[in-house]
Structure 1
């Protein structure tokens, strides 16, 4: 799952944007279900700082890390493997996932890894590349758990923390260019849907 690079950043590249700071505050007190839902809505490279922040939190669920790992196109890193940087930047998500795993992160696994998080074709491709390498020839190790991300239960979002339904949350996610409906929840969206159906009919 490759990120779209052309979307303009929602703020300066150094430091968190106001949207990101607000999202961090919400996520810190939210269940991991919202974390996984949020990372699934992150489409652009400008979201990498938020993704990296999530990966560096001790409560980050395994499913969130797996989604981030596979969105970094891990098979590509095995084509010309290089040592992991000691201090990965926000765009080095592959390295962040592996380093954090090696230091004990992502051992909490409550949420289910769906195909949208780790597509079976990507898993298979990565597995083939790992097997093709002589033992010990890689400058890093891909955890077996990342190659077989099983277990967990599907995420459940109450309406109060569903970005597509909760008005304040929708507004924040829309401002941050996360993937939510273009129209605000409520009457405006109902009218937009009605007009769309009317024009198609």
Structure 2
């Protein structure tokens, strides 16, 4: 099959500037050689079985505008050096096993938390997870710390009030002369008597 000059130019441009290898059952680590594709504008490696870390060589993708690594098995941290990619407008690493602090600066300040879904060990902005502890406690879950303390205090007071009310109700019922109260006292007295006999 032959193409005219314009068609061949378009095909060469598409191959040279955009690579889409998504949904190809690719496995193993991402080749560091990708970082040498300086004219590449879009790289899509999503929906594969790629493992290992995000290569630091990606800093060589000076003209990349879209980088999609989502739905793989990547781990480790997102390289801070990727913030040097000044043309990067789309960055997706959804549903991997990435961890650590999300880089900030330049283009990375424009990405929202949807770019990082499915990576529970990532912390920092734009997620609501603090990096102060290993458990990455939520720092902005809509409930202030003071409110949480007040809720716990209210719970304990409510529990104590209910306990006292029930206890007073039992004592009040036993204060009346009734077959039920006499049976209760007899049962308790019999139990105490058996305990004493077992100890002697």
TM-score, normalisation: structure 2: 0.28
More helix by share: 1
More contact order relative to length (CA 8 Å, sep ≥ 6) = 1
More strand by share: 2
Rg larger for: 2
